[in-house]
Amino acid sequence: MSFTPLHQHDDDAEREPTDREAFTPGIEPQATWCPGCGDFGVLKALKGAMGDLGYTPEEVLLVTGIGCSGKLSSYFESYGFHSIHGRSLPVARAAKLANPGLEVVAAGGDGDGYGIGGNHFVHTARENHDMTYIVFNNEIFGLTKGQTSPTSPMGHKSKTQPHGSAKAPIRPLSLSLVGGASYVARTAAVNPNQAQEIIKEAIQHDGFAHVDFLTQCPTWNKDAKQYVPYIDVQQSDDYEFDYHDRREASEMMHDVEDALHEGEVLTGRFYHDPDRPSYQEEKRAHGDVPEDSLAERYHDDDYEWERSYDLMDAHK
Amino acid sequence: MTGEIVWRIAGGSGDGIDSTSQNFAKALMRSGLHVFTHRHYPSRIRGGHTYVEVRADDQPVRARGDGFNFLLALGDSFARNTKEHAYYGNEQAKPLAENLDDLRDGGVVVYDEGLLDASEIEDFEARAEEHNWHVYPMDLRGMARDQGREVMRNTAGVGVTCALLDYPLEPIEKLMEDRMSGDVLEANLEILEYAAEQANQLDHTHDLRMPQGEHDSEQALVSGSNGIAYGAIDEGCRFVAGYPMTPWTEVFTLLSQHLPDMGGIAEQVEDEIAAAALALGASHAGVKALSGSSGGGFALMSEPLGLAEMTETPLVLVEATRAGPSTGMPTKTEQGDLEHVLYTSQGDSCRVVFAPGNQREAYEQTRQAFELAYDFHLPAVVVYDQKLSGELRNVDADFFDREPNPDLGATLTEEELAEAAHYATGTFERFQHDPQGAPEGVSPRSIPGQADGRYLASGNEHHPTGHISEDPDNRVAQMDRRMRKLAAIRERLDERESNQVRHGAADATVGVMTYGSNQGTVHEAVDRLVEDGHSVASLSVSDLMPFPEADVGEFLDSVETCLVVEMNASGQFRGLVQRELGTHGDILHSLLKYNGEPFEPHEIVEAVEGLGSGDPATAATRYVPAGSD
């Protein structure tokens, strides 16, 4: 069988915007998002960002986890992989290693990403894989009907925590920074313009870009209105800091995470290191990944495959 | 008994027992002998009791033998801890004391009197006399220290071995020259010769001699793990992801060392869930990928395994089992994970499982696992055990001289995709209920990046486009199609030379059935039984899912009674046979062993001989007669 080469996206090429509606599936998704759900905001921002950047659906692989957030791949037309709870990141980063020409986006919820997938989150950040990771943060387990999540505030009451949670919420921005992510931002479904700009930046960033995306859950977390009003730190004179500076970013994140449950919700870019090489670049520098796309090689009829027989000398 | 030599080298972990035995085995192979190694080591890095046996004969050897006839007890250098109350302090005599039970009558003992004191072992002299052992105390440590470095006492031991067995030094010297250089080589060569001279001056009271043989073709010394890694490479696997765990680490290490230099990718990741998920992600993206683990790590992989079944993503996993439950005995062998491998993960199992019986089959069946996973879009598991993983055996080097097969299997080209079924605005119908021309249940896939190929791979039940669907009719159609693959795979395998190996008398009345790594031991036992006039034949089974119902049924129909040999406590393989066939329960007897050690041929011989007479089990094995489970 002979294959034509795969479509490879060149990040550096100048591109004309494409029609964002190309990312709308031709099939009506089995409805799981409630009216007023913040997840629609992520979908809109992602479609808009892909269109603005000139992508076509064939060039994108969207890997999702389980939960309401995981259904993003049902609402978004591209190559999709709806995986399992907490495991989107290992699936996504292997696909990117195998075919660097793919634009790989992973998405999941706060339970998916910061709870069950916490181990993968820290290690993917640490390795700084070249991909975008969007975490739908609504501080609740939605699809399982309203249990306390890793981002729920201390004292949060739910059917599984009837006396209120005794756990401090996880600090996803700080965790991401400490883990090694080279781009960390927070945005919110109710800030559509900012959200789209941040997702665009995250996609363009060569490294692990983590976007903590605040998504209100009108069904199970009525307290979601706490997210109003949002302050965009880049638009406000009150929050001056250099988001290229690790220390300043860390301090700012600390304040932001402390303030979240005190009624002040800060969003924006909190850290961006454009100079740290991605994992792919590091591996290439170590001679550990091929210069070209490994996936492409299986499409090349003329490629000379090495054989194990060549290794036999050591055993003779 | 043949003129074979079973040479056991014993010492403490970290004393170079493994490398010394590998080199010795290779030298014997190069000089024309057939060799087979058996490894015993504790779950401990340094010190303790470890040994390796090298069995050498002029005839092919297929298994560890019954006991051994030459002991080289090197001493445990890590037992010489001068600090009081040291943990190792009381293990000084172990390399000698622990190895006497299986030493055959008339055997030879060489021990390092620089490190070991035979008088510490109360009954040593009495036992030596009773069994007619020929004992040669040698100050190997002293020789090594005087001629080079103390650590080279292994070389001294090999020199003494050669002298006592009348085996030339040249093959060992040649191997050393290949491996070492400079002062290290010089010192080793000096020690080797010096030790041999010292041993030649002794009065040789034994009559063991190294056999002489000749090979028709060039040989390679390979392990089961080599077979799996090289099978994967030849099948075009260029991506491995894993987490270290004994004994899977051997395959993982080999591939990690080779793949990057072949333009592939090796990833050591945070846990086994991630490892299998990475292999799945790479495979989805169009690369041939492998992951694997051992029992406990494989348990974590049950999530991605099920996901591969539901998303119909090719995935090849290796399960190198060891004694369980839980972390069990990390460095001991067992076949207790059979049911785990067959049925783990949610829902109905739709996977291929092979259990290779030797080094060649490990290679062959790993290739088959890749072929079937990529042709049929499902996971394929190669399950083997700690025993086969580390056993070295000589194989014709030409056996590996095969054409590589990087073919991605049932995958459409862009031209084909343009013509393929699409839904509404263009989503490719990846999971058609009845794909044209694919009665085998396979709906061909696309690779991310191909035009007209985009779809959703979902772990939820899905519509032909991959979008989530809980429609009952769709569910049944998808489930039926996926399950159809197993029947089609069985058909394809049945058309080939069988993976099930029959051995022994043509019209036998007594059967011995086993699976996986017991094959060679069973063959040796059957040969001895047939030689003694018994009407015995064996069937060793490699295909576990889809099950080779015809092969096994035919075999069981042909015998009057059958002993099922396996290394676990509950008879999982016998249970599988009865579950799959639903017949023959009245003739199946079990011989079980689960002390962490592989079977020795005599245990199977004795069990078959005792079949009609009550309890045919030896001290190490358990016998379960027909109808008693």
Q: What is the ipTM of this complex?
A: 0.97
**Residue A251 sits at the chain B interface (C-beta within 8 Å):** no
Task: Please say if the pLDDT value at position B166 is more than 80.
Answer: yes
Q: Which residues of chain B neighbour A74 with C-beta distances below 8 Å?
A: 456, 467-468
**Contacts with B423 from chain A: Cβ below 8 Å:** 26-27
Give me the mean pLDDT over the A249-274 stretch: 92
Whose tokens are 């992801």? That residue is B241
- Does B447 have pLDDT greater than 50? yes
Average pLDDT over residues B485-489: 96
- The tokens for A300 are 């090349």
pLDDT at A226: 65
Kindly state the average pLDDT of the residues A300-314: 94
What 3-state DSSP class applies to B291? strand
Model pTM above 0.90: yes
> What is the predicted pLDDT for the residue at B80?
64
Mean per-residue pLDDT, B531-557:
98
Q: For residue A73, which residues of chain B lie inside 8 Å, CB to CB?
A: 456, 458
Tokens of B77: 């250098």
- Per-residue confidence at B89, pLDDT binned at 50, 70, 90? very low
Radius of gyration for the alpha carbons in chain B, expressed in angstroms and rounded? 27
**Tokens found for residue B425:** 């605005």
The average pLDDT across B22-29 equals 97
d(CA B461, CA B458): 7
Q: Which residues of A touch B460 (CB under 8 A)?
A: 82
Is the pLDDT at B185 greater than 70? The verdict is yes
Q: What percent of chain A has pLDDT over 70?
A: 99
Q: What is chain B's mean pLDDT, rounded?
A: 94
Q: Extract the tokens encoding B396.
A: 């014709």
CB distance A120 to B274 below 8 Å: yes
3-state class (DSSP) for residue A79:
strand
Q: What's the pLDDT at B629?
A: 58
Tell me, yes or no, if A98 comes closer than 8 A to chain B by beta carbon: yes
**By percentage, how much of chain B surpasses pLDDT 90?**
89
In angstroms, the separation between the Cα of residue B306 and the nearest Cα of chain A is 10
Q: What percent of chain A has pLDDT over 90?
A: 86
Please state the rounded mean pLDDT for residues A6-23: 89
Q: Determine which helix (DSSP H) or strand (DSSP E) holds A112, and give its type and residue range.
A: none
pLDDT at B345 over 70: yes
* Percentage with pLDDT > 70 across chain B: 97
- Number of Cβ within 10 Å of residue B110's Cβ equals 24
Across residues A210-232, what is the average pLDDT?
86
Of B595, B621, B382, nearest to B525 (Cα)?
B621
Judge: A297–B222 Cβ closer than 8 Å, yes or no: no
> Average pLDDT, stretch B490-510?
97
With CB atoms and an 8 Å threshold, state whether B447 touches A287: no
Nearest CA in chain B to A279: B267
| Contact residues, chain A, for B271 at CB < 8 Å | 119
φ and ψ of A142, to 5 deg: -85, -55
Per-residue pLDDT averaged across B451-458, rounded?
96
Contact between chains at B282 and A73 (C-beta distance less than 8 A): no
Q: Between vectors from CA A213 to CA A212 and to CA A215, what angle results, nearest 5°? A: 140
Smallest CA–CA separation between A3 and chain B, in Å? 5
pLDDT at residue B157, rounded to an integer: 98
Please tell me the predicted confidence (pLDDT) of residue B87. Answer: 47
- Average pLDDT of the residues in B452-458: 97
Cα B442 to Cα B354, B370, B373, B379: the distances in Å are: 20, 15, 11, 13
pLDDT reported for residue A148: 95
Considering only residues A105 and B435, tell me which one the structure prediction assigns the higher pLDDT.
A105
How are beta strands B588-593 and B561-566 bridged, if at all? parallel
Residue B86: what pLDDT? 47
Q: Which of A83, A131, A283 to mutate to test the interface with B (most CBs of B within 10 A)?
A: A83
The predicted structure's pLDDT at residue A222: 82
Q: Is A102 on the interface with B (CB under 8 A)?
A: yes
- Which residue in A91, A294, A299 is closest to B265 by CB distance? A294
Contacts of A61 (CB under 8 A, 6+ apart): A78, A79, A80, A81, A92, A95, A102, A103, A104, A105, B285, B448
**Mutation to test the A interface, candidates B394, B398, B458, B465, most A Cβ within 10 Å:** B458
* Shortest alpha-carbon distance between residue A263 and chain B (Å): 37
Q: Which 3-state string (H, E, C) describes A41-77?
A: HHHHHHHHHHHHCCCCHHHEEEEECCCCHHHHHHHCC
Rounded CA gap, B555 and B250, in Å?
35
- pLDDT tier, A225 (very low <50, low <70, confident <90, very high otherwise): low
CB contact under 8 A, B449 and A101: yes
Interface of A with B in 254-293 (CB under 8 A): 283, 287-290
pLDDT average, residue stretch B263-268: 97
Per-residue pLDDT band for A3 (boundaries 50, 70, 90) equals: confident
CA distances in angstroms from B422 to A20, A71, A140, listed in the order given: 20, 21, 37
- Buried-exposed string B25-41: b where 16+ CB fall within 10 A, e elsewhere: bbbbbbbebbbbbbbbb
**Closest alpha carbon within chain A to B179:** A314
Euclidean distance between CA atoms B463 and B455, whole angstroms: 11
pLDDT digits (tens, 9 = 90+) for B577-626: 999 999 999 999 999 999 999 999 999 999 999 997 777 888 899 999 98
Residue B65 has pLDDT above 80, yes or no: yes
* Stronger pLDDT, B465 or A260, i.e. the higher one: B465
Tell me the shortest Cα–Cα distance from A280 to chain B, in angstroms: 11
SS (HEC) of B560-615 = CEEEEEECCCCCHHHHHHHHHHCCCHHHEEEEEECCCCCCCHHHHHHHHHCCCCCC
Chain B residue closest to A122 (CA)?
B270
Instruction: Say yes or no to pLDDT of B81 above 90.
Output: no
Per-residue pLDDT tens over the stretch A84-132:
999 999 999 999 999 999 999 999 999 999 999 999 999 999 999 999 9
A167-217 pLDDT per residue, tens = 999 999 999 999 999 999 999 999 999 999 999 999 999 999 999 999 999
